Amino acid sequence: MKALKKICTVLMLLAFAFVFASCSNGSDSDDDDSSSNGLPSSVGKNVLARNSYQYSKADDDKTKTITYAFKDDTVTETKVEQKTGKSAETDITVYNYTYNANTGLLYMKIVSWTSDGVKMTSMNEVYAYLKKAGEVETVEEAKEYFGDQDIFAEKISMCYFVKNDGNILLGNYFDDDEDVKSSNFNYEEETTLRVKFDSEKIELNGATKTDWKIELDAKEETFSGSDIAGSYTVKAKAKKTLKELNGDDKLNEANGYIMVKFSKLPSEMSSALYNMETGTEYKFIFDLDCDEYTKQKGKKNSIL
């Protein structure tokens, strides 16, 4: 159902809009003015401005293309997804942004979201759109569903790394305990095992692929499902950015990690391959979810 996909898109934007912890290194800047819209002041040279970067991925049933077009202080994300035999669907999100060129961090805040040609700049407009799309029967139902969550109020932090060929790596950044509920973590000893808190499941993607649904209680730092349950503790947040790691997006404790203790395990995870036990802590490292975006040659954003 298309409307269901749209409400999931809003939830993804909310997940993307991590509770923000300032990562400014305290450097002085001449850009401290109201144009930053509450974001930290920019530091250093902006090599992203007036450039576009694109990432594409295709699998058996769909193709997805994401383009970031940077101006001096705004960036437009255009996401086009097309399932086999279906028409393409486009979502456009515009952000205000600032940056720290020394550490390779972007600070972003959503200005507008456009879906099905409908531009929205407030949650009230989002509620009305979801009602028109048939996802909810009334605006009041939409308000109750999202509570006090507001995609236009949250601030976002991401890390970026500019490669020698001009392409960029974009990844998430683990700088706040609240990020856990919107993130993925990989088991340090076997990367085929992942805790995907953003979609509330634990996934095994090895010789056989399976997953177990969970309900996350971020306040209590617990998760539970019919076949698997446990708790987690944040042990370390990010110590280095993607730039400080010289673009290395592989599993690294410097990305931050949590310790997970299972109270209930499925047979697959207690088998000889993983040999996990209840009551024992296991290290799961933060997944940057990093992708390479290709610089679009000759496409300056002078008129965007």
pLDDT tens-digit readout, 196-236? 998 899 999 876 689 999 999 988 999 999 999 999 999 99
pTM: 0.83
pLDDT at 285: 96
- The answer to whether 261 touches 281, Cβ cutoff 8 Å, is yes
Residue-level pLDDT at 211: 93
Number of neighbouring beta carbons within 10 Å of residue 84: 10
pLDDT of res. 134? 86
Q: What is the chain's length? A: 304
- Say how far apart CA 176 and CA 241 lie, in whole Å: 14
Give me the pLDDT at residue 304, please: 37
Give the per-residue pLDDT at 234: 95
Q: Tell me the CA distances in angstroms from 280 to 76, 239, 250, 264, 277, one per residue in order.
A: 45, 25, 25, 11, 6
Residue 118 gets the label, from left (phi > 0), alpha (psi -120 to 50) or beta, of beta
Residues of the chain with pLDDT under 70: 1-36, 207-208, 299-304
Calculate the alpha carbon distances from 72 to 31, 69, 75, 149 in Å: 12, 10, 8, 28
pLDDT of residue 147: 85
pLDDT score for 3:
41
